[in-house]
Each structure stands twice: as structure tokens, then as C-alpha cells.
Structure 1
Amino acid sequence: MKRICSFLLCLGLFFSQTSLVNAGNNKVNLSISKEISYYGEVLNGKPNGQGTMKWGAYKSYLGSWKNGKRSGYGKFVIIDYSQAEKDFDGRMDNVRTTTYIGQWNEDMKNGEGILTDKVNAFHSGNQDDLIQKGQFKNNVFIKGNEVHTYWNNYSDFLYKDDSINVSFQTSDDIQDLYQDTYNLDYEEFNDLEEIIDYGAYENLTFQSKSTGITYKYAHLLDNEYGAFTITRTKYVNNKMVEELVTDAEVDNINMSREIERKLQPYLKGFELTLKMLYQ
């Protein structure tokens, strides 16, 4: 009889503990303030597990929580109408949408993720789009590819990690190459590699963090004669120590091959990142 009672007592404790665990994971509605609401799993009255929090109508997070903080994988979206206005077609112009999809810890971006910041400038021309794809630490982008395109057709490209920064700028309408909504007839290039081969870049920089050595390349075209020169400047700890200017055809070809060799490992990553921005 004592053994039966002990068994039933243990069984009762098991189901009691199981019920408490499940109760902590039930989805509930929480009204945190007048503007902030949460629906999802909770533990001890705080978001814990999977859930969605909304800060008014234009800010939300959907994903994992731990002890009331964003932790794990999730999607965070902010829609900014502060500069918005209707265009002549009745569409809202100049609406900025910032989205982060990836890992979180302690309410901050930590780990692998993709951050996009886009303005839907239909007619205003205030195009200003950014994408960062790689690793974040305490909300700071620390490793990976970054592309920033502007209304004047300029685009900044950056790759960085613990050992190197690689960056350059193009002045051609690069976004037209990577989104189907434009398909303009006057496109001069088919991809980013052709732009580099043609020399349509500015401020091409390779900065080694371990050695302190930086190389900067400038491609200058003489419109009158159709010739071009390439300047390579070397810096050590931000101090210029060497400058080489090529003007002969053979030297230009050799310098172009040097640039292509250095950039080749990064071009595919830039192209994939740019496509993600305009997919």
C-alpha cells in the first residue's frame, strides 16, 4: 500500500511540474503600455519563447525571447513615415523601412544577420538604400558585406573582417543591373565585374589591419584621347610612402590584372548582397 501511494505521489508531482512548464509556454496577450503589446509565450510574466511585440503600428519584432528580451532568431521592422508624402499617383513617397533578420542576444543584434534600410522614392529621387550582411556585435556591424546606394546613382561597397577592409565606389546606376522593375535600355554594363574591368570605380582601397598597409587605386580616363592612367598609392599607418602612375598600355594591363586579382574574391559577395537589397 505504501509503494502504491509513493508511486501515485511521484506521478502527481510529475504531472504537476509538467503543467507548470507548459503553463510558462502558453501564448498569451500582454499589454505592456498604451502603445506596446505582446502576444506569445511567457514565463514569470515576461516574454519567453516565441512571440511578437508591437510598438504602435509601425514597429514590430517577431521571433525568440528570453526573460523579456529579444534573444535568438527574429525579425525586427521599423516603418518611418516622418518624411513621407503622397506623389501624383496617390502613392506614399519617401517611406523608409528598416528591417533586421537574424540573431539577437540581450535585446541587441548579435551574430549572423541581414540589415536593410530602404526608401521607396517613386518620384522624389531621394533614393537611399543600405544593406549589411554578415556578423553583428551589440548592434554594430563588424564583419561581412555592405552596399549603400544613393539617389545620384553612386554606390558604396565595403567588405570588412578582422584582417582587412576592401571598399570602392561606383558612379553608374548599379541598382538597374539587379532589379527587374527597371530594365533600362541604356545599361552599359552587365554586372559588377564589367564595371571594375572598365575602370568605372573610385576610391578603390585595400586596408590590411594586421600590417597597417593600405593600397588605394584611382582610374583616370582622358576623354579627349580615350586613354587612361591608373594610380596606385601605398600608405603605411596612414602615411603615404609610395605612388605609382601607369600610362603605358602594358603597364595599365598589368595594373588592371593586379586589381582584378585582388578584388575577385569579393565581387561575388558584393553582387549577391546587392541582389538581396533589390529582390
Structure 2
Amino acid sequence: MIRKYLSFLTLALLFLLFTHEETEASNQKVSLTLPNGATYYGEVKNNKPHGKGTMRWGPSKVYSGDWYNGQRSGTGKYISDRLPEDMRIVYEGKWKNDRPDGTGVRKESNPDLEFYVISKGTFKDHDLISGHTVTQSMDSIWFDYRNGNTFLEFSVSDRKQANELMHSKLARGHIQHLNYYKREKSALDYKGFEYARSMEDYGSSISEGVYRTGDYEVMELYTGVNQRFEDEEFYRVENYKNGKLVTAKDVKENGRFAGIVQGKINNNKHVLQPYLGEFSKLLKDIGNDPEPISCSNSSTSVCEAFPIKFE
């Protein structure tokens, strides 16, 4: 009996010693050069990135954070900086199986084109599936929110109008587009509306009713009324049922249609209220996004934030 106990104790000690040695080995920081030319410095296991470390793909791409069995998994930050040819992309947040997966923030920018995008929320296999997005281009700012059961999109023509909306001055901000869709959790269809108003009547439209997602997740009117400015004298009224156009007629415009669209937007601005706080933060982040700062040995800016050393 004593012999059996001693044998069991010896095996247990050997197991603990082996586990301790394996853990210590994985915590050792080493440098690796991968077959694709990437370089890595950090913790490894079985000669693969495992733990915390930093990998570079040439002078313009770098990731620093958690690794599991050679893949980015856990929490980390990725920068791809190829200015001025391409977009600068920065993602910081959760990763799984080498892809953004979980909560995070992604920024895309090209200052030469005056184009900025920032998304914050939950990502799945690189795509934002729930959260807020702000897109600023030369002539407009777009705001998007989605969570599976609610979709919201609206746009304004400049930052001044955006700031008015962010400070809840809903009556003063001139919205160009306002699209809103909402469904019950168990429902297939969304109820909502799409309003678009241009400075001139051309391009103005109204759509209200029940929507379904079509190709590329684009909302399509399934049952309801669509109205759009047709020419200098008429706007067209179309009735849809179960995805089919059932009636259509032209209505004398008399200079009223743009005003009708604006009235629809004003009466439905209240749907923005729950989302303005987060949109305001993202809009501020775009404004405070620093210009890339070149390093002494590189024409890109990834070295301003890396390498991150883990102690």
C-alpha cells in the first residue's frame, strides 16, 4: 500500500514538474522568421506564436497582442499603414482564429481623400454585426447603427449640422437621409421607413411599410408605399404587397414634395435619441485622430505605436 502511494506521489510530482517546465518555456520571448517573411518577437510554444507577442509583415503591417497556436486569438491591436496609396486601418479589440471577433474598434482613413470611418461594437469574422459606425467624406457624414433587430442610418451634409444633432438640437440639424427599421425578435420582417431629401427635388423619396433584407443585406420594401420625385411636375406613388408592385400613379408635384419629405424627417427625428451619445463619441474620435508620424527609418507610421513590450 505504501509502495503504491509513493509511486502515485512520484508520478504526480513528475507531472507538476513537466507542466511547470512547459509553462516556463512558453513564457520565454524569442524571435522568429516565418516562411512568408513575417518576423515575430514574443512568447512561443511548439515553435509557434503562443501567448503575447508582436508580428510584423514588412514595414507597414504589425499586430501586437495575444496569440494561440500561431493565430491571433484574445486581445490585440493591428495596424496596416500603406498611405498614400491605400487606406490606413487600425483595429483594436478581440480576436479569434486570426480574425477580429468580439468587441473592438476599427478605424479606416485616407486623409488625402478626406475619408474617415470608425466602427465600435461587436465583430464576427472581421465584420461589424452590432454597434455604431460613423463615416466622414468630403461632402457628407453618415451614421449607422445595427444590432440584428434594429437598423438605423442617417446622414448630414457637414460637421456643423452633425454637431447640432449630437447636442440634441434635433429641430435644427438638416438630415439628408433617415432610414429606420425595427422588428420583434421572433419576426422575419422589419417595420420602418426610408426618407431622402435633396436640396433640389430630384433624389427626394419616401418609403414606409414592411421591409425584408435582400441581397447584400440591403433592406427592400415588401409591403407598403414608395413615393419618389419623378420629373419637374409629378412624383410617383407606388404600392407594394408581398414584394410585388400592385398599383402606381403619378401625382402633380406643385413644388410640395421636398417639403413633404422634410416634414416626415422632422416628425421622426426622435428615433435618433438613444444613439446620439455613442455617435458623438465616435465623431469626436475622428476629429482627434492624429496624422501619421513617420519614423526615422520608415516611411510609414506603424512604429509610432509599436513594438509593444510585454513584461
Whether these two folds match at TM > 0.5 is: yes
Describe the shift of the 1:12–1:255 C-alpha distance in structure 2 as closer, same or farther (beyond 3 A).
Answer: closer
Unaligned runs of 5+ in 2: 212-220, 228-256, 289-311
Matched, 1:200 2:174: yes
Counterparts of 2:133 and 2:42, CA distance in 1? 33
Describe the shift of the 1:135–1:207 C-alpha distance in structure 2 as closer, same or farther (beyond 3 A).
Answer: same
Counterparts of 2:67 and 2:120, CA distance in 1? 23
Describe the shift of the 1:19–1:195 C-alpha distance in structure 2 as closer, same or farther (beyond 3 A).
Answer: same
1:170-249 to 2 correspondences below 5 Å: 170-172=156-158, 174=159, 190=164, 192-193=166-167, 196-209=170-183, 210=187, 211-218=189-196, 233-237=207-211, 238-239=221-222, 241-242=224-225
Describe the shift of the 1:67–1:232 C-alpha distance in structure 2 as closer, same or farther (beyond 3 A).
Answer: same
TM-score when scaled to structure 1?
A: 0.73
Residue in structure 1 matched with residue 231 of structure 2 by the alignment: none
| 2:156 counterpart letter in structure 1 | T
Describe the shift of the 1:217–1:34 C-alpha distance in structure 2 as closer, same or farther (beyond 3 A).
Answer: closer
Q: 1:142 aligns with which of 129, 134, 137?
A: 129
Q: 1:267 aligns with which of 249, 268, 276?
A: 276
Q: CA deviation at 1:188?
A: 9.8
Counterparts of 1:62 and 1:146, CA distance in 2? 24
Describe the shift of the 1:160–1:10 C-alpha distance in structure 2 as closer, same or farther (beyond 3 A).
Answer: closer
Describe the shift of the 1:80–1:12 C-alpha distance in structure 2 as closer, same or farther (beyond 3 A).
Answer: same
Q: Deviations over 1:79-99 (max 9, x none)?
A: 01352xxxxxxxxxxx73200
| 1:39 counterpart letter in structure 2 | Y
Q: Deviations over 1:170-220 (max 9, x none)?
A: 111x1xx6xxxxxxxxx8965534664224111201112443322123457
Residue in structure 2 matched with residue 107 of structure 1 by the alignment: 98
Tell which deviates more after alignment, 265-274 or 72-81.
265-274
TM-score when scaled to structure 2?
A: 0.66
Contact 1:199 1:219 in 2 (8 A): no
Contact 1:134 1:145 in 2 (8 A): yes
Counterparts of 2:81 and 2:31, CA distance in 1? 23
Describe the shift of the 1:11–1:208 C-alpha distance in structure 2 as closer, same or farther (beyond 3 A).
Answer: closer
Residue in structure 2 matched with residue 131 of structure 1 by the alignment: 118
SS of the residue corresponding to residue 278 of structure 2 reads helix
SS of the residue corresponding to residue 132 of structure 2 reads strand
Matched, 1:166 2:152: yes
| 2:194 counterpart letter in structure 1 | K
Q: CA deviation at 1:273?
A: 1.7
Matched, 1:62 2:49: no
Task: Tell me the matched-pair count.
Answer: 240
Counterparts of 2:18 and 2:168, CA distance in 1? 67
Contact 2:191 2:210 in 1 (8 A): yes
Residue in structure 1 matched with residue 249 of structure 2 by the alignment: none
Unaligned runs of 5+ in 1: 84-94, 178-186, 223-229
Describe the shift of the 1:247–1:191 C-alpha distance in structure 2 as closer, same or farther (beyond 3 A).
Answer: closer
Q: Percent identity?
A: 27
- CA RMSD in angstroms comes to 3.3
Contact 1:134 1:143 in 2 (8 A): yes
| 2:92 counterpart letter in structure 1 | I
Tell which deviates more after alignment, 194-203 or 37-46.
194-203
Residue in structure 2 matched with residue 47 of structure 1 by the alignment: 49
Residue in structure 2 matched with residue 17 of structure 1 by the alignment: 19
Describe the shift of the 1:71–1:189 C-alpha distance in structure 2 as closer, same or farther (beyond 3 A).
Answer: closer
Q: Deviations over 1:19-66 (max 9, x none)?
A: 222112211101113631001111111111101010011100000000
